[in-house]
Amino acid sequence: MTSNQVLSEVEYDVVGKRPVRPDGVDKVTGRAQYGDDTNLTGTLRAKVLRSPHAHARIKFIDTSKAEALPGVRAVITAKDLPFASLSKKELGGEYTSLKFASDHMMASDKALFKGHPVAAIAAVNAHVAESAMALIEVDYEVLKPVVDVREAMQDGAPLLHEDLRTNDMGETGEKPSNVATHMSYSIGDLDKGFAEADLVLEKEYTTSTVHQGYIEPHNTTAFWNSDGQLNLWTSTQGSFQVRGTVASILRLPVSQVKVTPMEIGGGFGGKITAYLDAICAVLSKKTGAPVKALMTRTEVFEASGPAPASWMRVKIGVKNNGKMTAVETEMAMDAGAYPGSPVMQAIVCAFACYDVENGKVDGYDVVDNKPKTAAYRAPGAPQAAFAVESLIDEICAELNMDPIEFRLLNAAKEGTRRIEGLVARRIGLVECLEVARDHDHYKSKIDGPNGRGVACGYWPNRGFQSSVVMTVNYDGVVSLLMGSVDIGGTRASIAQQTAETLGIGYEDVKPTVVDTDSIGYTFITGGSRTCFATGLAAINAAEDVKSQMISRAAKIWDTNEDDIEYVAGVVQHKSDEELKLTFKDLARQLATTGGSVSGRASVDPSGEGNGYAVHIADVTVDPDTGKTDVTRFTAVQDAGKAIHPSYVEGQMQGGAVQGIGWALNEEYFFDDSGKMMNPTFLDYRMPISLDLPMIDTVIVEVANPGHPYGVRGVGEVAIVPPMAAVGNAVSAATGNRMRSLPITPGKILEADWENGKS
């Protein structure tokens, strides 16, 4: 029995419906153009030589033999890149030093993870390029690596960067450290809060490095024209971020770089960082030819950005009636080779589901000899939720209290002040909990070797900049141009918001994702922001169109604009019922009333969407093998307004599935030398459809007051609760509390043995 429910509060004509996606035909017929489909005349193929060591000093690189190989057109090393300073820039959605960004793209003095680029080759084909890689001689001084976040924090741990000192909110540490940043926030009186508690529990949790697992590997094609213009065709979540990164690293004005985003075969946060673009650009400049690079799956695992491993300590105090009196956490996440883990997001999200007067959160961003981590849906929040929601489950068991009733008693609501200080506006956590409590799944019985777990989660959903341009064609069809790359159906959802605002049909809006020369700055498709912020830009641009259409009608009727109104796609005189034109009829008269009408808008909304979700998971654990099967799963989420409910359900189901993989299977295995031992999909176990039940969804719609249709954003929070929900279910089934992800059969059996169960 599966179901998808939408609990709508407001009905619209186009918004909230489920039209066919505009890019659907191209995608199901194989005609959609992905990055690797870019084939310019004379394109060379690039290959990247990568460090075999996780930590090594590069003493010298000799490329002469490779350069002499017939078919090789160019070889580059870090020496071919401009000098990069330690000054910081916003690159790929995060602030980092140019030296770190440049060194990440190609190591200059040290290789900091296995797979770190040290040289790159452009050749007439990939086979020649691969042959040439074997001819490059690199002399390494191999250094001891560190690949565990807590070990990396210890005094005496191998240092990755001799000049890196801990930044304690603007205060720099005295000695070099792998702890790049420490941040702390608090509210109320922690000691008083714990003193008031009848029960205080404190536990530690760990999670492993995991990958987003997008199907399409990173790829790019670069052509540095002789007029100085650099063109890039790439698979990315943010064409403007690629432009900014490449321009900064190569010291170019941004207008000299044009990025065309191709269709994207999955990203989940991992397609924000530009790994290959500047490399191919420099090779193209050297050769005068287009250069294309495509990562192998092993390169994707070893050298793109996974989500961080984490160590977390959580302490919670409660009264006997279940009311929380104090909360505290320390969270450390590894950033990989260069600073920038999402631990600060983790500490913001950790207790955001709860209204608690006394709390303290500390976050540590730690470098170690792993690939530099990247964003992965709600970066940092899933790990934090695993720890906090697991401890809450233990507290509920101690108090013999229903886990949803406990959460309802303590739930954040409008007016709740979070630990970092912000006060919640209208949010939908209570509504989600009530729906979960009353759901058939939660009310059904469960027994035997089965267990049920519940968890909730939060993600802020901040806005950022978006731009939209739309033009009314003379047949009444609106061409809609946007800079947001379409990962999860945003062509459709932005077109729906446009159509709703203009009062026209969805089929009369033709959305196109365009290059960086064709639209104003637009931030990444990520952070659950696109349907919200780009949607807001589309609504504003549509309002611009409406006012111009009124102006044209005023010309035709020789009347004042103030006497005309725009109602549901019809332009009409307020007092003369005879004067009325549909959008299409008026569009046909544009050519004779001044020409085309274009609307445009750039927005930078400052509010938060505030996404909340509650998940219920049932599992069966085989007592002999420790294998866990998820037998039933229900995801409840406040979407604010589901513009296209099918895509929202897809995001909820996808987040749950990725979370189940994170909970039960997925992890990077490193050997003592820091080498990843499982860099293929055969050995890195992601769940497939045979491993999973259908994920039931319930969309709750508590409108976001900061968006005309109430949109909150949906992609991120869907992955926040599932690891905790599954972990709590496994603990219920086995009687053993699992505090380390992934919860493998081995860990379950070990816990049984430790508890003398078998």
Please report how close the Cβ of residue 500 comes to other proteins at its closest, in angstroms: 25
Among 208, 528, 634, 665, binds other proteins (CB under 8 A): 528
Is the Cβ–Cβ distance between 752 and 672 less than 8 Å?
no
- Cis, bond preceding 19 (omega within 30 deg of 0): no
Q: Binding to other proteins (CB under 8 A): which residues in 658-717?
A: 716
Among 94, 277, 302, 618, binds other proteins (CB under 8 A): 94
105 binding other proteins? (CB under 8 A): no
501 binding other proteins? (CB under 8 A): no
The phi-psi region of residue 530 (left if phi > 0; otherwise alpha if psi is between -120 and 50; otherwise beta) is alpha
Please report how close the Cβ of residue 375 comes to other proteins at its closest, in angstroms: 3
Q: Which stretch binds other proteins (CB under 8 A): 54-62, 257-265, 344-352, 555-563?
A: 344-352
Of residues 34 and 185, the one with the C-beta less far from other proteins: 185
Q: Binding to other proteins (CB under 8 A): which residues in 10-29?
A: none
Among 169, 215, 682, 690, binds other proteins (CB under 8 A): 169
Residue 8's DSSP bridge partners are none
Is the Cβ–Cβ distance between 290 and 223 less than 8 Å?
yes
Please report how close the Cβ of residue 25 comes to other proteins at its closest, in angstroms: 29
Of residues 16 and 305, the one with the C-beta less far from other proteins: 305
Among 186, 298, 602, 631, binds other proteins (CB under 8 A): 186
- 94 Cβ contact partners less than 8 Å away, ≥ 6 residues apart: 340
657 binding other proteins? (CB under 8 A): no
Among 151, 196, 420, 629, binds other proteins (CB under 8 A): 420
CB atoms within 10 A of CB 243: 26
Distance of CA 756 to the CA centre of its chain: 42
Q: Which stretch binds other proteins (CB under 8 A): 108-116, 273-281, 455-463, 738-746?
A: 455-463
Please report how close the Cβ of residue 307 comes to other proteins at its closest, in angstroms: 8
Distance CA 244, CA 253 (A): 9
Q: Which stretch binds other proteins (CB under 8 A): 40-48, 373-381, 535-543, 720-728?
A: 373-381
Is the Cβ–Cβ distance between 389 and 455 less than 8 Å?
yes
95 binding other proteins? (CB under 8 A): yes
604 binding other proteins? (CB under 8 A): yes
* Coil, strand or helix at 585: helix
Torsion of CA 744, 354, 605, 643, to 10 degrees: 60
Distance CA 104, CA 113 (A): 10
Cα angle at 360 between 357 and 366, to 5 degrees?
155
401: DSSP letter: -
Please report how close the Cβ of residue 513 comes to other proteins at its closest, in angstroms: 19
Please report how close the Cβ of residue 87 comes to other proteins at its closest, in angstroms: 7
Distance of CA 340 to the CA centre of its chain: 14
Please report how close the Cβ of residue 420 comes to other proteins at its closest, in angstroms: 5
Please report how close the Cβ of residue 459 comes to other proteins at its closest, in angstroms: 7
H helix runs in 56-136, sequence order: 64-68, 98-105, 126-133
Q: Binding to other proteins (CB under 8 A): which residues in 195-214?
A: 212
Among 1, 215, 423, 682, binds other proteins (CB under 8 A): 423
Is the Cβ–Cβ distance between 486 and 750 less than 8 Å?
no
Distance CA 418, CA 427 (A): 13
H helix runs in 411-474, sequence order: 429-438, 440-443
**Residue-wise over 99-130: b if at least 16 C-beta within 10 A, else e?**
bbbbbbbbbbebbbbbbbbbbbbbbbebebbe
348 binding other proteins? (CB under 8 A): yes
Residue 364's DSSP bridge partners are 182, 332
426 binding other proteins? (CB under 8 A): no
Cα angle at 89 between 83 and 91, to 5 degrees?
100
- 67 Cβ contact partners less than 8 Å away, ≥ 6 residues apart: 74, 75
Among 336, 379, 654, 661, binds other proteins (CB under 8 A): 379
Please report how close the Cβ of residue 103 comes to other proteins at its closest, in angstroms: 18
Q: Which stretch binds other proteins (CB under 8 A): 179-187, 254-262, 405-413, 750-758?
A: 179-187
Q: Which stretch binds other proteins (CB under 8 A): 140-148, 226-234, 264-272, 280-288?
A: 264-272
Strands (E) in 503-596, as ranges, are: 509-513, 564-567, 570-573, 580-582
State the pairing for strand pair 628-638/611-621. antiparallel
Please report how close the Cβ of residue 671 comes to other proteins at its closest, in angstroms: 28
Q: What one-letter code names the amino acid at 44?
A: L
Distance CA 22, CA 13 (A): 18
Please report how close the Cβ of residue 320 comes to other proteins at its closest, in angstroms: 30
461 binding other proteins? (CB under 8 A): yes
355 binding other proteins? (CB under 8 A): no
Of residues 112 and 344, the one with the C-beta less far from other proteins: 344
Is the Cβ–Cβ distance between 223 and 40 less than 8 Å?
yes
Edge-to-edge order in the sheet of strand 359-367: 171-176, 165-168, 179-187, 359-367, 324-336, 310-318, 199-207
Among 185, 474, 521, 681, binds other proteins (CB under 8 A): 185
Please report how close the Cβ of residue 18 comes to other proteins at its closest, in angstroms: 25
Of residues 204 and 420, the one with the C-beta less far from other proteins: 420
Interface size with other proteins, residues (CB under 8 A): 56
Among 11, 155, 171, 577, binds other proteins (CB under 8 A): 171
Q: What one-letter code names the amino acid at 361?
A: V
Distance CA 122, CA 46 (A): 4
* Coil, strand or helix at 471: strand
Q: Which stretch binds other proteins (CB under 8 A): 314-322, 519-527, 532-540, 620-628?
A: 519-527
Q: Binding to other proteins (CB under 8 A): which residues in 32-91?
A: 87-88, 90
Among 242, 279, 347, 485, binds other proteins (CB under 8 A): 347
Taking each helix axis from N to C end, the angle separating 490-502 and 535-557, rounded to the nearest 10 degrees, works out to 30
360 binding other proteins? (CB under 8 A): yes
State the pairing for strand pair 165-168/137-142. unpaired
Among 16, 22, 527, 640, binds other proteins (CB under 8 A): 527
Of residues 1 and 423, the one with the C-beta less far from other proteins: 423
Q: Which residues bind other proteins (CB under 8 A)?
A: 87-88, 90, 93-95, 168-171, 181-186, 212, 267-270, 272, 344-345, 347-348, 360, 363, 374-379, 420-423, 425, 459-463, 465, 524, 526-529, 604-608, 716
